[in-house]
Amino acid sequence: MKSSVLFFGRQPFFYSRVRPPAALRSGILILLLAASSSVLANMRGPQFLNTSAAANLQKPGGQVVVQKENLTFSCTRIQIDAPLDPCTIRAVYTVQAFRSSTISLQFVLSERATQIKARLAGQSRPIQLQLPASDQHDRPGMDRQATAIFQGPLPAGTHEIVVEYRQPVGLQEYGYGYFSDGKFTAWLDFELWPLKEWQLAPDFQLELTVHAGVKPGWWQRLTAPATGLVVYQSTRDAQQQQTVSMQSDPAAPYYWYTKTWDRNFPDRLRIVMGELERIQ
pLDDT tens-digit series, residues 139-173 = 555 678 889 999 999 999 999 999 999 998 888 88
Identify the weakest region by mean pLDDT among 25-29, 122-126, 143-147: 25-29
Confidence of residue 28 (pLDDT cuts 50, 70, 90): very low
Q: CA 114 to CA 207: how far, in whole Å?
A: 24
What's the pLDDT score for residue 228?
A: 79
Which residue has better confidence, 82 or 9? 82
Q: CA 68 to CA 201: how far, in whole Å?
A: 8
Three-class DSSP category at 33: helix
Say whether pLDDT at 120 is over 90.
Answer: yes
Residues 221-241 have a mean pLDDT of 80
- How far out from the chain centre does Cα 243 lie? 16
- How far out from the chain centre does Cα 150 lie? 26
Which residue has better confidence, 242 or 126? 126
Q: CA 69 to CA 56: how far, in whole Å?
A: 10
CATH class of 48-279: mainly beta
Say whether pLDDT at 133 is over 80.
Answer: no
What's the pLDDT score for residue 12?
A: 34
Cβ proximity of 158 and 122 under 8 Å: no
pLDDT averaged over the chain? 76
Which residue has better confidence, 48 or 77? 77
Question: Could you give the residue ranges of the DSSP H alpha helices within 98-226?
Answer: 218-223
Closest listed residue to residue 3, CA positions, set 203, 66, 135, 12:
12
- The set of residues, in sequence order, having a beta carbon less than 8 Å from that of 226 and lying 6+ positions away, is 275, 276, 277
Three-class DSSP category at 164: strand
Which residue has better confidence, 207 or 255? 207
Q: CA 43 to CA 45: how far, in whole Å?
A: 7
Measuring CA to CA, how many Å separate 42 from each of 84, 108, 150, 224?
A: 25, 38, 48, 29
Q: What pLDDT digit, counting tens, does each position of 165-215 carry?
A: 999 888 888 877 776 677 888 888 999 999 999 999 999 999 999 988 777
What per-residue string of b and e applies to 240-255 under the rule 16 or more CB within 10 Å gives b? eeeebebeeeeeeeeb
Say whether pLDDT at 219 is over 90.
Answer: no
For residue 73, how many other CB atoms are within 10 A of its CB?
23
- Sign of the torsion angle spanned by Cα atoms 250, 256, 260, 265: positive
What's the pLDDT score for residue 200?
A: 93
- How far out from the chain centre does Cα 47 lie? 14
In the chain, what are the domain boundaries?
48-279
Measuring CA to CA, how many Å separate 9 from each of 5, 13, 209?
A: 12, 9, 62
Residues 68-90 have a mean pLDDT of 85
What's the pLDDT score for residue 225?
A: 73
Cβ proximity of 274 and 186 under 8 Å: yes
What's the pLDDT score for residue 53?
A: 76
Which residue has better confidence, 222 or 30? 222
Instruction: Let me know how many helices (H) and strands (E) the chain has, helices first.
Output: 3, 20
